[in-house]
């Protein structure tokens, strides 16, 4: 199971650690040729403006978008969710997301760093709560009808799935609890 972690900017090393613990082989993706032999991908948290800009200038954006459309399983956390969304509210005018999952997100929708928070999340299928860490987190303002909401905070979706695409507003890579990475790997490799 080769799982790529988009390593343009952000908390990619923490995702790689979680993947190793879950028994997958993480690969850092910095250019188009790295994308060739991955079976699944994680887009980490970081700054979405930086990640989208580098994806464009380093020539990975189009390939990434095509591969996800063709069924590459992908998990996007925080900035990664923004990158995968259909529309960005309160972003920069020139910030075009990949449009892979049918959600609209508001950047820093939960506020600036002072409003960043932790909270226990009830996630479908988990026996005990999952500690969600929200850092200048994006708010899902709209989730389309094909999007399954796996967890919410105060009525807003924070964990979404559409086919083989998963997104979280929070950071599962920061809490030493591998259940979301395991769930993603199950989703990614269930049929193969």
Partner 1 sequence: MAKDPFRMIFMNEAVRETGTQLVKRGLAEMLKGGVIMDVVDAEQARIAEDAGASAVMALERVPSDIRKDGGVARMSDPEMIEGIKSAVTIPVMAKARIGHFAEAQILQSLEVDYIDESEVLTPADETHHIDKWAFEVPFVCGATNLGEALRRISEGACLIRSKGEAGTGNIVEAVRHIRSITGDIRKITQADSAELFDWAKKLQSPLPLIQEISETGRLPVPIFCAGGIATPADASLVMQLGAESVFVGSGIFKSEDPAQRAQAIVEATTNFADADKLAKVSHGLGEAMPGLEIENLETRLSDRGW
Catalytic residue among 18, 78, 160, 181: 78
Residue 119 C-beta: closest distance to partner 1, Å: 4
Residue 87 vs 133, nearer CB to partner 1: 133
Work out the burial of residue 146: count CB atoms within 10 Å of its CB; fewer than 13 is exposed, 13-18 middle, 19 or more buried: exposed
User: What is the rounded CA–CA span in Å between residue 128 and residue 162?
Assistant: 24
**Catalytic site residue 171?**
yes
Residue 23 vs 59, nearer CB to partner 1: 59
User: What is the rounded CA–CA span in Å between residue 75 and residue 55?
Assistant: 16
**CB contact at 8 A, 83 and 76:** yes
User: Residue 84 belongs to what H/E stretch?
Assistant: helix 79-84
Residue 42 vs 79, nearer CB to partner 1: 79
**Catalytic site residue 154?**
no
User: What is the rounded CA–CA span in Å between residue 117 and residue 153?
Assistant: 12
Work out whether 174 is an interface residue with partner 1 (CB under 8 A): yes
Secondary structure percentages of the chain, helix, strand, coil, to 5:
30, 30, 40
3 state DSSP class of 153: strand
**CB contact at 8 A, 103 and 86:** yes
**Catalytic site residue 160?**
no
Span 2-61, contacts to partner 1 by CB under 8 A: 7-14, 30, 45-47, 49-50, 53-54, 57-58
**Contact pick of 141, 152, 178, 189 for partner 1 (by CB under 8 A):** 152
Residue 170 vs 184, nearer CB to partner 1: 170
Work out whether 116 is an interface residue with partner 1 (CB under 8 A): yes
Which residues are the active-site residues? 78, 171, 173
Binding region for partner 1 (CB under 8 A): 7-14, 30, 45-47, 49-50, 53-54, 57-58, 78-79, 90-92, 107-108, 112-122, 124, 132-136, 143, 145, 148-155, 157, 171, 174-175
């Amino acid at each position: 199971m080769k799982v790529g972690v988009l390593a343009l900017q952000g908390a990619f090393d923490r995702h790689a650690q979680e993947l190793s613990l879950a028994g997958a082989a993480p690969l850092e993706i910095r250019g188009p040729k790295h994308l060739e032999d991955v079976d699944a991908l994680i887009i980490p948290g970081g700054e979405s403006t930086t990640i989208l800009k580098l994806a464009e200038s380093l020539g990975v954006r189009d390939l990434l978008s095509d591969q996800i459309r063709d069924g590459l399983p992908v998990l996007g956390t925080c900035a990664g969710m923004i990158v995968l969304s259909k529309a960005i509210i309160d972003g920069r005018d020139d910030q075009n997301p990949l449009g892979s999952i049918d959600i609209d997100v508001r950047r820093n929708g939960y506020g600036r760093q002072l409003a960043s928070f932790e909270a226990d999340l009830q996630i479908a299928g988990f026996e005990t709560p999952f500690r969600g860490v929200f850092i200048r987190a994006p708010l899902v303002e709209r989730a389309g009808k094909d999007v399954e909401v796996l967890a919410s905070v105060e009525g807003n979706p924070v964990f979404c799935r559409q086919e083989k695409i998963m997104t979280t507003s929070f950071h599962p890579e920061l809490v030493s609890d591998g259940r979301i990475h395991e769930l993603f790997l199950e989703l990614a490799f269930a049929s193969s």
